[in-house]
Amino acid sequence: MTSPSIPPRCRRDAEATKGAITRAARYLLARHAHGDITLKAVAERAGVSAPLVVKYFGNKDALFAHVMSFEADAEAFLDAPLGRLGRHMVRHLLTGQAERGADPVLRIVFAPLHGERGDVLRANFRAQVVQRLSVRLAGPDAGVRAELAVGMLLGLGVMYGIARGPCLRATAITEITERYAPAVQSFLTPR
């Protein structure tokens, strides 16, 4: 008589696991002060064990240093030719909110919750998103125009994803993009 075979354990994809941990940490960081977040809470939200979080990120400080970086998010957020960048950024922000319930760039809104860590978040945001955008802009006042464009996007993101404006959320993303993108683009294109 043979014993029933036990299927081999499914191995988690390391990148998928890291992604789940990162999303969980971002979710918690957007809702709680850094000091109130535990690795156990991140692990539970990600559906993994706390030791697995430690395996991939080392410790809480290393995990949150990773989460407080906007480098990869900025790459996707700014990934369009300058002439279509306003449209791309609006669509990217709204799609992130609609499909994933969050846009990684919006976590800057929660910087005041995090004390000194909020200073790190703000510095990273300015360097990795706003300054990176301003470098792409031609003409005078590129820094001011980049800050105005990003500010408009943050306002839209707050209204759509955090305040959850019912009229805005009932409107198709393509329609919002058509209405909002020209205003954002006006800051990206020199006069």
pLDDT tens across the length of the chain (191 residues): 444 443 344 445 888 888 889 888 888 877 777 788 899 999 999 999 999 999 999 888 888 888 888 887 888 889 999 999 999 999 999 998 888 766 667 778 877 777 787 888 889 899 999 999 999 998 889 999 999 999 999 999 989 988 889 999 999 999 999 999 999 999 999 76
Identify the residue whose tokens are 């156990």.
40
What is the Cα 179 distance to its own chain's centre?
Answer: 23
Q: With beta carbons less than 8 A apart as the criterion, state whether 156 and 180 touch.
A: yes
| pLDDT for the residue numbered 88 | 96
Give the residue from 26, 7, 16, 9 showing the smallest Cα distance to 48. 16
Rounded to the nearest 5 degrees, what angle is found at the Cα of 110, between the Cα atoms of 109 and 112? 110
Contacts of 67 (CB under 8 A, 6+ apart): 22, 25, 26, 29, 107
| pLDDT for the residue numbered 8 | 40
Domains, the chain, ordered by start: 14-67 (1.10.10.60), 71-188 (1.10.357.10)
| pLDDT for the residue numbered 104 | 66
Q: Amino acid letter at 17?
A: T
| pLDDT for the residue numbered 103 | 65
Q: With beta carbons less than 8 A apart as the criterion, state whether 89 and 77 touch.
A: yes
| pLDDT for the residue numbered 2 | 46
| pLDDT for the residue numbered 70 | 83
